[in-house]
Chain A
């Protein structure tokens, strides 16, 4: 096992003007779980399929450690890459039993019968499906099919495991359970995993690193904590976590994290070029001493109220409140922090 390195990867499909993926450079650390996050159509699945070898990049190189998988003059076939993938549709073979599905990669690799049997058994045990070995995929529920697909990835000790929106077809309750299974699977196997999703909460919960893509370009790669606290640019700021982006005159200097006093000054107006400032709802407090804001909407979320506030200049921020407020009411709002995007 080694690092997976993508260098200046591009993909342009025949007959379309715009590149699906443009100049993506990315290193996935060994044993890491990288979430590839972005809105649908941003090129994240294309990147995944290029790593798997189903698509050839039109430019750039992909290598794993020293081994080159794809470049201008080489193209390693997917069947030789030693990778495994969980597909959005699970891709279980309907004419094979659960055990045959899981054991197929071993059968192709011509392992001994006994070896095959024991590895299939332990893979099925790992996803708690030992009792289902002889069933057909059609007899299983969505979550069970997902686990079979995962077990099929487990059996071969792949260098890289790819997951293509694996939770998209599951209901909310099953998603949480499967997130847990994936995390467990990642910790146990130590495999390098790449997880494509458009759900930022899923990405934050699972990943050791998050890569945000939009319109074929890679915007930022960082740990979940880092990307939440220090997003780069409007797009990442709006994709990761909740928050409002305000356009405010920038103070002098290179600060990016503004404290309460600075925010107050900026809100009151002043000289300077307008910049985008991200304000997270937990940094907005409804308390005496703040600036006057009008309540636009209130949504009861159980543990708190989610409130939208209109600032004097008409810009909108989100806030959490422990007490109920009325729509149309004027309340004082304190902005504790802001982050310049």
Chain B
């Protein structure tokens, strides 16, 4: 009977097994392995050992405090931008929105480096303009407050996107009805819009909190020099000082990270409880409020903020990359391209990193394209009752912090593969597998939403024309989802190329990625080389984002995250 039905919907027999195999390898196995080790070591009393260790409580405290204040900063920044850009008659909204997205897309270790180069006694920028504090004064960013602040800068766009999506979905008639009831602009904002946008605020705050908890790049660069550890950097440190108990310890620690993330999400649902603001009525772009004489002031404030959180750090980063060495004053006479020469032409390590990162990202992006076209087709057209489960399993690895996922892959592949007795641990293949797993959701989402937009009759017409599955895919379906598939390739490439957390735990000699190379250069004191490499990465990020922006109008809604 089931064989009979399957043939009626025209899918080849291998499609379901393919999708299930992909999901098992990319999601079920690593996550299951992590859960098993965590539970086993907890039962064996290992968890007790770790959890009663007083040296653990400090990192937990640091993680919670930095993430909480990071979330507060992100809500203030992102919320302010979302409200001003969505509801008021600000000029240059698209440019401001695009620039505000940049700090999130720039890798966290690059953000941290650029801020370091902007502040402190050795800042090339401050020295060049003669404002540097005296030598020996502390770098203010090497602190809990510094980490929390940069968490805020890094994740502000997450709050911005979440709140903006909520604001754009507000019913226009609710605002108009309030206006007709005699409410002033300010009253409408206070009594209607802000209460209704609370879910967007809460969701954005929760995402920002979870993202802070899992962040590795910022506390690694700002915290480790000052011996301030958070859970992700503690895992990294434990892993560096490898001993017999490491596997048990890191699985418990990553379990702890997962618990913190779940707690953050629980608080969110608690905030939202009893507030079922399902939007009734037509949603539509709310008429913008006029700022009148405050408009210029508001615009100045927005640009000033962008200047502080984006332009200044980047200028400082560029300045550092042109300096001959860290701490040397930058003058027209001392400007040098030495750092770029070094990383591009001389250092074998950075060249390897470029090759590795670009190779890994391209393979991940195109490998996932194949998986997500077939999986997306299956999820949308398969009519399978497992579709919801498969979607959830596909999204889980991306939702987990990178450290946790990396630990899962370490546990899964620490022993040689059964049957063939080959170990991929320490090779580039384990990073590739972890990337495929981590970014499956990024790749799948645009493709799935594109398939949803394709009228089923387009494929049925091709079937009646005599086209078999492969033919329909090639002639009809793939061309129709091509723009979204292209966007998915660019998005995955962009994110994978800038990734640090997963590869920081999985790399070994010869398999370092760009993220790892930047971190290692900074760690070994070659600050100007790290800056130069970071500048190249930022240029690449901006180029990719502009490419996506240019493709934006041909893509289904929601594919390019910052366009709405």
A182 within 8 A of B: no
B261 CB to nearest A CB, Å: 35
Question: Which of B4, B10, B465, B475: most chain A CB closer than 10 A?
Answer: B465
- Flag if A54 contacts B466 (CB, 8 Å): no
How many interface residues does A have (CB within 8 Å)? 29
Closest to B471 in A: A108
Complex Cα gap A77–B466 (Å): 9
Complex Cα gap A216–B293 (Å): 67
A138 within 8 A of B: no
Closest to B7 in A: A75
10 pairs from A and B in contact (CB 8 Å cutoff): A52-B464, A54-B9, A75-B7, A81-B464, A82-B466, A89-B457, A91-B455, A91-B460, A94-B480, A105-B465
**Contacts A91-B455, A109-B466 known; A85 to B8 CB distance under 8 Å?**
no
A104 within 8 A of B: yes
**Contacts A95-B480, A108-B465 known; A54 to B7 CB distance under 8 Å?**
no
Other than the given A91-B457, A152-B461, A152-B465, 6 more pairs (CB < 8 A) read A77-B7, A82-B466, A85-B461, A91-B455, A93-B462, A109-B466
Complex Cα gap A85–B463 (Å): 10
**Interfacial chain A residues near B457, Cβ < 8 Å:** 87-89, 91
Residues of chain A from 57 to 94 with CB closer than 8 A to chain B in the complex: 75, 77-85, 87-89, 91-94
A55 within 8 A of B: yes
B467 within 8 A of A: yes
**Interfacial chain A residues near B464, Cβ < 8 Å:** 52, 78-79, 81, 83-85, 105
**Interfacial chain B residues near A84, Cβ < 8 Å:** 464-465
Q: Give chain A's interface residues, CB within 8 Å of chain B.
A: 52-56, 75, 77-85, 87-89, 91-95, 104-105, 108-109, 152, 156
Q: Give the A-B pair count, Cβ closer than 8 A.
A: 77
**Interfacial chain B residues near A105, Cβ < 8 Å:** 464-466
**Contacts A87-B457, A89-B457, A95-B479 known; A56 to B466 CB distance under 8 Å?**
no
- Flag if A87 contacts B460 (CB, 8 Å): yes
State the majority secondary structure of interface residues on B.
Answer: helix
Complex Cα gap A108–B462 (Å): 9
Closest to A75 in B: B7
B5 within 8 A of A: yes
Closest to A90 in B: B457
B198 within 8 A of A: no
- Flag if A75 contacts B4 (CB, 8 Å): yes
Closest to B385 in A: A14
Complex Cα gap A92–B459 (Å): 10
- Flag if B461 contacts A79 (CB, 8 Å): no
Q: B466 is contacted by which of A52, A75, A79, A94 (Cβ under 8 Å)? A: A79
B282 within 8 A of A: no
**Contacts A53-B8, A77-B7, A77-B10 known; A104 to B455 CB distance under 8 Å?**
no
**Interfacial chain B residues near A104, Cβ < 8 Å:** 462, 465, 467, 475
Complex Cα gap A2–B464 (Å): 18
Complex Cα gap A291–B263 (Å): 82
Q: Give chain B's interface residues, CB within 8 Å of chain A.
A: 4-5, 7-10, 455, 457-458, 460-468, 471, 475-476, 479-480
Complex Cα gap A82–B465 (Å): 8
B8 CB to nearest A CB, Å: 4
**Interfacial chain A residues near B471, Cβ < 8 Å:** 108
Complex Cα gap A85–B455 (Å): 15
Question: Which of A53, A77, A79: most chain B CB closer than 10 A?
Answer: A79
**Interfacial chain B residues near A80, Cβ < 8 Å:** 466
**Contacts A78-B10, A85-B461 known; A56 to B480 CB distance under 8 Å?**
no
- Flag if B461 contacts A87 (CB, 8 Å): yes
8 residue pairs, one from A and one from B, having the closest CB atoms: A56-B8, A105-B465, A91-B457, A91-B461, A87-B457, A78-B463, A108-B466, A95-B479
Q: B458 is contacted by which of A56, A79, A93, A152 (Cβ under 8 Å)? A: A93
A61 CB to nearest B CB, Å: 13
Complex Cα gap A91–B476 (Å): 11
**Contacts A95-B479, A104-B462 known; A79 to B7 CB distance under 8 Å?**
no
**Interfacial chain B residues near A81, Cβ < 8 Å:** 464
Question: Which of B5, B461, B464, B480: most chain A CB closer than 10 A?
Answer: B464
**Interfacial chain A residues near B7, Cβ < 8 Å:** 56, 75, 77
Complex Cα gap A152–B464 (Å): 10
Complex Cα gap A85–B459 (Å): 12
- Flag if A79 contacts B10 (CB, 8 Å): yes
Closest to A78 in B: B463
B11 CB to nearest A CB, Å: 11
Complex Cα gap A156–B466 (Å): 10
Complex Cα gap A93–B481 (Å): 12
Complex Cα gap A91–B464 (Å): 11
A62 CB to nearest B CB, Å: 12
**Contacts A56-B5, A87-B460 known; A79 to B479 CB distance under 8 Å?**
no
A265 CB to nearest B CB, Å: 55
- Flag if A75 contacts B8 (CB, 8 Å): yes
Complex Cα gap A156–B5 (Å): 27
- Flag if A79 contacts B463 (CB, 8 Å): yes
Complex Cα gap A78–B456 (Å): 14
A322 CB to nearest B CB, Å: 47
Complex Cα gap A29–B466 (Å): 24
**Interfacial chain B residues near A89, Cβ < 8 Å:** 455, 457
- Flag if B460 contacts A54 (CB, 8 Å): yes
**Interfacial chain A residues near B462, Cβ < 8 Å:** 93, 104
